Amino acid sequence: MSSATGSGLLAGKVAVVTGASSGIGKAIAEDYAREGASVVVADVNDAAGEAVAAAITAAGGTASYRHSDAADPEAAEALVRFAVERYGALHVACNNAGIAGESNPTADYSVAGWHKVIDVNLNGVFYGMRAQIPAILAAGGGAIVNVASILGQVGFAGAPAYVAAKHGVVGLSKNAAMEYAQAGVRVNVVGPGFIATPLLKDLGDDLLAAIAAMHPIGRLGTSEEVAGLVTFLSSDKASFVTGSYVAVDGGYLTR
């Protein structure tokens, strides 16, 4: 077994990142590795996930890919076991995996669509933390960062399941933070605004421009801007920060 060494905010730490094959998750995995962590890249897109881990390794970092479905509680447990067996411990986890789901008002939203979004975006965070917390406790403490959204604070027409799930992630994170603070596990949640990721790939240019204009800063965010915040919250620099919801949204929630 080996673990990351050297300098960096996460030097010597072992981390898992779900939904790490693209977008925000990919940027978080890359930033974790740059800051010295041994990273387990988890996703259901095997080709893209393997490529992320390979690129991190090629750049001098330490990373492995693991197929893991966030909506499967057994997969969450297997992911943690993999991290501990491969690198000796688990200190940091970022539960980032999420899907957009269908776009329909509440009365027209399909039951199947509701369950799919809740299973990945909310249940997946619960399954992740349920498996991660015991391992982090065994390692002597650490940090969990859950990725919610600005829609964990406000509504958005046509996205009832997504909004409900992300509100749930905020509440779940605060509750776990309260429960495990004295045991040395910090739990925080970040709320990205609209970020230029593959999740927005199907939106037309006009709609993207309109969405960008909803952010006082006047543009969409980048995955790297979210990753920088997540890495800080995952590090000992944020040792007195737990139970917090931190927006990275270009001022969206100021409106």
Name the residues annotated as catalytic. 162
DSSP 112: H
Structure token pair of residue 205: 């240019």
Residue 60, sorted as left (phi over 0), alpha (psi -120 to 50) or beta, turns out to be left
Angle at 174 between CA 64 and CA 171, to 5 degrees: 95
Give the C-alpha distances (Å, rounded to integers) separating 152 from 136, 234, 245: 26, 20, 9
Distance from chain centroid for Cα 63: 17
d(CA 198, CA 209): 16
d(CA 62, CA 163): 35
Residue 2, sorted as left (phi over 0), alpha (psi -120 to 50) or beta, turns out to be beta
Dihedral angle computed from the Cα positions of residues 236, 99, 164 and 252, in that order, rounded to the nearest 10 degrees = 70
Q: 107 exposed, middle or buried (CB, 10 Å; 0-12, 13-18, 19+)?
A: exposed
Type of residue found at 40:
V
